[in-house]
């Protein structure tokens, strides 16, 4: 099975309940033919405040959240990209927002720590977000070799930095994964536009699972998880709530298009 599924959730404050919902969606995706499933950012907890996430931080390689991902990968014999899991850094108050890619044997084959942190004021109601208060930024780009293609890893706010994706494409990425928790305001304004732009600019597939619904903190996330092909065409999307959307990348057609339309090799403004 070569299909990839984006899983949409509306996570709450209870880790165990969120893991159960993730397990349900993973089983649904497997039944639908997925070989790789991608969970949204903060799939494991959307609490009353950002400190709730810090309180469930795990050491890399051990803990109930990671143990659950290993078990689900082995049980369903599929690959899982766990949107973000809080993993310890040198600062106990600022874990990494780590995206872990598990193979179908439950082994971690890639880890990406979210680089760009969401420190902004949003909308007329002046919603303030300061992710850097409770997150340590990562520093390394990651492209992972998988049976589904070369996957360039990123998370949410990274989406606004096209140079990151151009470098992932330069390193061979064919598929860009962007687990997210976009706000309602920014989602309505920019989500689809940015996702399709990243696909078009890099002639890459985009897999963008999202949080979609109302959360106990009072925050509403936009949802609209999407799978987009290398020509910028939306091949599937959701609205709000939980769900699954799939795509089966055609890497041969993508490679042929990149050869006929070699925008990636035409770049002249080199850093």
Between CA 93 and CA 97 the distance in angstroms is 12
State yes or no: is 114 an active-site residue.
Answer: yes
Catalytic residue among 21, 68, 131, 156: 156
Question: Which CA distances in Å does 100 have to 1, 126, 177, 194?
Answer: 21, 33, 12, 23
In sequence order, the β-bridge partners of residue 202 are none
Beta strand extents in 9-140 (DSSP E only)? 34-38, 79-87, 96-102, 108-113, 119-122, 127-130
Between CA 131 and CA 115 the distance in angstroms is 11
Catalytic residue among 21, 30, 58, 114: 114
Between CA 252 and CA 171 the distance in angstroms is 18
Sort residue 157 into left (φ over 0), alpha (ψ -120 to 50) or beta.
alpha
State yes or no: is 41 an active-site residue.
Answer: yes
In the chain, the N- to C-terminal Cα span, in Å, equals: 39
State yes or no: is 68 an active-site residue.
Answer: no
CB atoms within 10 A of CB 263: 13
Catalytic residue among 21, 30, 41, 68: 41
Between CA 99 and CA 84 the distance in angstroms is 5
Decide the pairing of beta strands 127-130 and 119-122: antiparallel
Q: Annotated active-site positions, please? A: 41, 114, 156
């Amino acid at each position: 099975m070569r299909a990839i599924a984006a899983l949409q959730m509306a996570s709450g404050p209870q880790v165990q309940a969120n893991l159960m919902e993730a397990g349900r969606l993973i089983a649904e995706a497997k039944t639908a033919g997925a070989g790789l499933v991608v969970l949204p950012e903060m799939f494991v907890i959307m609490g009353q405040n950002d400190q709730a996430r810090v309180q469930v931080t795990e050491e890399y390689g051990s803990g109930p959240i990671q143990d659950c991902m290993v078990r689900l990968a082995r049980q369903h014999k599929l690959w899982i990209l766990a949107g973000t899991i809080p993993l310890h850094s040198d600062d106990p108050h600022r874990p990494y927002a780590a995206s872990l890619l598990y193979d179908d044997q439950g082994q971690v084959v890639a880890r990406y720590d979210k680089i760009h942190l969401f420190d902004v004021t949003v909308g007329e109601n002046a919603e303030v977000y300061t992710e850097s208060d409770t997150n340590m930024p990562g520093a390394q780009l990651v492209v992972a070799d998988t049976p589904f293609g070369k996957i360039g890893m990123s998370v949410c706010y990274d989406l606004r930095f096209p140079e990151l994706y151009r470098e992932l494409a330069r390193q061979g990425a064919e598929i860009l994964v962007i687990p997210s928790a976009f706000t309602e305001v920014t989602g309505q304004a920019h989500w689809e536009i940015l996702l399709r732009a990243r696909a078009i600019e890099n002639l890459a597939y985009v897999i963008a699972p999202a949080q979609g619904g109302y959360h106990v903190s009072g925050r509403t996330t936009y949802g609209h998880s999407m799978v987009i092909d290398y020509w910028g065409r939306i091949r599937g999307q959701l609205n709000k709530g939980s769900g699954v959307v799939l795509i089966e990348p055609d890497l041969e057609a993508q490679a042929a298009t990149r050869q006929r339309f070699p925008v990636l090799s035409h770049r002249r403004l080199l850093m």
